[in-house]
Amino acid sequence: KFGDSTPDSRPHGCTVVAADVSFPHALESFGLPERWARLALPSTMRLASNDNDASLHSTGFPYRLFNLDVFRYDSTVHTGLYGSVPFLLAHGGASAMADGNPAEPAAESTSVGFL
């Protein structure tokens, strides 16, 4: 469901395009504008709570990029507020990423970049 509007008829979409992007020398990532979030994007991934498991797990709220116009919004969810700009910049080395795919992408973030 997008804010106060109608439910998403295809919450997971029809197609999947996947890519892993990392910025090895960056401490924070910036971008994906038009959303309620800090300028330095908060992490949407966390380490497993088990000491024997060093894998990352999603918090369930990835950054979804789609075009919409939301008047009321929940400040605890990283939902877009207006448009969709698939541009990411990382502070450190000269690192940036732009996605020209017209589909509805989703991105997960860690403290050192995007997965």
Residue 112 has pLDDT above 50, yes or no: no
Could you report the per-residue pLDDT of 25-60, keeping only the tens digit for each? 777 777 776 767 677 777 777 666 666 665 666 666
CB 111 within 8 A of CB 23: no
Residue 108's alpha-carbon distances to 10, 45, 46, 62, 99, in angstroms, are: 19, 7, 10, 5, 14
Please give the residue that has the higher pLDDT: either 18 or 113.
Answer: 18
The pLDDT score that the predictor gives to residue 62 is: 74
Residue 63 has pLDDT above 60, yes or no: yes
The pLDDT score that the predictor gives to residue 84 is: 72
Of these ranges, 18-22, 67-71, 72-76, 86-90, the one predicted with the greatest mean pLDDT is 86-90
Give this prediction's pTM. Answer: 0.53
CB 61 within 8 A of CB 74: no
3-state secondary structure 62-84: CEECCCCCCCCCCCCCCCECCCC
